[in-house]
Structure 1
Amino acid sequence: MKAIGKIVFVLFHISLVAWGCLAIYFSYLPVPLRYGGAGLFAVVSIAVLLLARPKLKGAVIFWAMFALVLLGWFSMKPSNHRDWQADNAVLPYAEVNGDVITIHNIRNFDYRSETDYTIGYYDKSFTLSSLNSFDVFLCDWGLNAIVHTMVSFGFDNGSFLCISIETRKEKGEAYSTLKGFFRQYEQFYVVADERDLIRLRTNYRQGETVYLYRIQDVSMAVVRQVFMDYISYINRLTESPEWYNALTGNCTTEIRGHTRPNPDRINWDWRILANGYIDELMYEKKMVDTSIPFTALKKQSIINQNAMAADQDPNFSKKIRQNLPGMDPVKQP
Structure 2
Amino acid sequence: MLAAALCATGVFAWYQTITPEQNKAWANDVSRGVTASVKANTVRLKNIRDFDWQTSNSATHRWISGTYDLTRLKSVDVITSVWDNPDIAHLMVGFGFHDGENVVFSVETRREAHEAFNTIGGFFRQFELVLIAATERDILRLRTYIRQERVRMDPVALSHTQMKDLFLPYVRLAQDLSDTPSFYNTLTANCTTVVFNLADSLWPEMPLDWRVILSGHVPDYLDRLGVLDQTSDANEGRATNLLPDTSNLPASGLNYSELIRFGR
TM-score of the pair, normalised by structure 2 = 0.91
Q: What amino acid sits opposite 2:151 in the alignment?
A: V
Distance 1:71 1:104 in 2: 38
Distance 1:119 1:180 in 2: 26
Higher relative contact order (CA 8 A, sep 6+): 2
1:197-248 Cα shifts (integer Å, max 9, x gaps): 0000111114x111110011x2221221221110011111112000000110
What SS class does the counterpart of residue 143 from structure 1 fall into? Answer: coil
Q: What amino acid sits opposite 2:99 in the alignment?
A: N
Paired-residue identity, %:
28
What SS class does the counterpart of residue 282 from structure 1 fall into? Answer: helix
Q: What amino acid sits opposite 1:113 in the alignment?
A: T
Whether 1:215 aligns to 2:156 is yes
Distance 1:89 1:163 in 2: 15
Correspondence 1:128-277 to 2 at 5 A: 128-206=70-148, 208-216=149-157, 218-263=158-203, 266-277=206-217
Whether the 8 Å contact between 1:271 and 1:281 is mirrored in structure 2 is yes
Q: What amino acid sits opposite 2:166 in the alignment?
A: V
1:298 Cα offset (Å): 5.4
Whether 1:76 aligns to 2:6 is no
Taking only aligned residues, the RMSD between alpha carbons, in angstroms, comes to: 2.4
Whether the 8 Å contact between 2:145 and 2:245 is mirrored in structure 1 is no
Distance 1:246 1:160 in 2: 28
Larger radius of gyration: 1
User: What 5-or-longer segments of structure 2 have no aligned partner?
Assistant: none
Q: Residues 262, 80 of structure 1: CA spacing in aligned structure 2 closer, same or farther, 3 A cutoff?
A: same
1:52-75 Cα shifts (integer Å, max 9, x gaps): xxxxxx6xx544433322222121
Whether the 8 Å contact between 2:105 and 2:133 is mirrored in structure 1 is yes
User: What 5-or-longer segments of structure 1 have no aligned partner?
Assistant: 1-47, 49-57, 325-333
Distance 2:227 2:20 in 1: 35
1:282 pairs, out of 219, 222, 238, with 222
Q: Residues 295, 227 of structure 1: CA spacing in aligned structure 2 closer, same or farther, 3 A cutoff?
A: closer
Q: Residues 63, 222 of structure 1: CA spacing in aligned structure 2 closer, same or farther, 3 A cutoff?
A: farther
1:66-105 Cα shifts (integer Å, max 9, x gaps): 3322222121000011111111112321121111111111
1:127 Cα offset (Å): 0.5
Whether the 8 Å contact between 1:202 and 1:308 is mirrored in structure 2 is no
Structure richer in strand, relative to its length: 2
Q: Residues 308, 240 of structure 1: CA spacing in aligned structure 2 closer, same or farther, 3 A cutoff?
A: farther
Whether the 8 Å contact between 2:34 and 2:45 is mirrored in structure 1 is yes
Whether the 8 Å contact between 1:244 and 1:250 is mirrored in structure 2 is yes
Whether the 8 Å contact between 2:73 and 2:97 is mirrored in structure 1 is yes
Whether 1:118 aligns to 2:60 is yes
1:310 Cα offset (Å): 7.9
Whether 1:321 aligns to 2:261 is yes
Partner of 1:102: 44
